[in-house]
Amino acid sequence: MIEMNSTNPVIELDQLRIVFGKRRILHDIQGSLRGHCIGLLGPNGAGKTTLIHTLLGFHKPASGTARIFGCDIRNESKRVRTVIGYMPERDSFIAHITCVHFVRLMAELSGLPSDAALERAHEALFYVGLGEARYRKLGTYSLGMKQLAKLAQAIVHGPRLIFLDEPTNGLDPPARKRMLELIREIRDSGRTHIVFSSHLLRDVEECCDEVLILKDGHIAANCNLEEERRANRKFIEMETRNATPAFVDAIGALGCEYALTGNQRVKLVMQDGIEIRDLYKIAAASDVQIRRLNYKRDSLEDIFLKAMEQ
């Protein structure tokens, strides 16, 4: 049995290299991933799907390796497969069987006995919201229902790590909201880690606490999102009334970088140790009214764009 320990990495990448023919796809990537929900980002061709398929055992590394919960994907692949689930981007259904039989089949392929697999299939389909439609043939399902069916088969055997490849792809707003709610519920249960690959930065930002960004087969960034946000400098835009040179000079005296961007508008960068209340104290002392204040930290989009520029 594979042990889960919060102090150990979920995934370790150890000089992992993947080559197709003469083309190198992943370039000796190295890193450790520990988050409960790990976002996997990058432009088309960055190597995201190749990395997922390699961790699933579909591709053999040209050199290096990776470990999932400490198990080497090269020589412990069968052991690894017992604790992972996979929701592929593309549909992989048998159209003329019912959804409950499809999910049961996938549970059996994951190692569950037939009776237990059927029971778990019913439970998984009710969990994702397909309980009333579980006896319908998959070929009659809408796109949103097919995505939920793929999620059900990925979690039916109770995996400790699931790979979600573009889980919200093509969904309308209500279906997307439901999918993200399910992902957060799975994350917050504490029993399952998630690798969430998506082109939609907003979806990743809503669900993930860690992000791995790939570019041209290299790791462009690997960061804890909450720590990154806390570490980023704080950007403020103020709309004022009766601003005076003394007011602006006092802001500069705090050590803040600032710029006047229009009539009574000030942009500034807050340094460590400076708080919003300090600005209001200066405004009060200078008889200046702060009419509007926008407070912004770097978003995941900012982090992603910086990684692409490096």
Predicted confidence (pLDDT) at residue 231 exceeds the cutoff of 70: no
CA distances in angstroms from 236 to 257, 265, 293, listed in the order given: 10, 11, 7
- Is the Cβ–Cβ distance between 183 and 164 less than 8 Å? yes
The band of 296, judged by pLDDT with boundaries at 50, 70 and 90, is low
- Residue that finishes a domain, picked among 170, 191, 223: 223
Within a 10 A sphere around the Cβ of 25, how many other Cβ atoms? 20
Region of residue 86 (left: phi > 0; alpha: psi -120 to 50; beta: else): beta
Residues 259 and 136 in one domain: no
Q: Is residue 5 part of a domain?
A: no
d(CA 25, CA 40): 16
Which CATH number belongs to the domain containing residue 258 in this structure?
A: 3.30.70.120
pLDDT in tens, 65-83: 999 999 999 999 888 988 9
Give the position of tokens 């790590």. 161
pTM of whole model > 0.85?
no
Give the pLDDT mean for 230-258. Answer: 80
- Is the Cβ–Cβ distance between 124 and 156 less than 8 Å? yes
Q: Is residue 43 part of a domain?
A: yes
- Is the Cβ–Cβ distance between 124 and 103 less than 8 Å? yes
| Whole-number pLDDT of residue 265 | 84
pLDDT in tens, 99-126: 999 999 999 998 899 999 999 999 999 9
d(CA 88, CA 190): 23
| Whole-number pLDDT of residue 252 | 86
- Residue that finishes a domain, picked among 175, 197, 223: 223
The residue with greater pLDDT, 217 or 307, is 217
SS3 for 48?
helix
Which CATH number belongs to the domain containing residue 24 in this structure?
A: 3.40.50.300
Q: Which amino acid is at 194?
A: I
- Is the Cβ–Cβ distance between 171 and 179 less than 8 Å? yes
What tokens were used for 249?
A: 């000079």
Residues 249 and 214 in one domain: no
The band of 297, judged by pLDDT with boundaries at 50, 70 and 90, is low
Predicted confidence (pLDDT) at residue 88 exceeds the cutoff of 90: yes
- Residue that finishes a domain, picked among 166, 198, 223: 223
Domain hosting 237: range is 232-303
pLDDT in tens, 9-31: 999 999 999 999 989 999 999 99
Q: What percent of the chain has pLDDT over 70?
A: 94
**Sign of dihedral through CA atoms 196, 200, 205, 207?**
negative
pLDDT in tens, 127-172: 999 999 999 999 999 999 999 999 999 999 999 999 999 999 889 9
pLDDT in tens, 32-63: 999 999 999 999 889 999 999 999 999 999 99
Q: Is residue 270 part of a domain?
A: yes
d(CA 288, CA 71): 62
Residues 49 and 84 in one domain: yes
Give the pLDDT mean for 172-200. Answer: 94
Residues 197 and 239 in one domain: no
Give the position of tokens 């998506």. 198
Domain count within the chain? 2
- Residues paired with residue 257 on neighbouring β-strands, in sequence order: 269
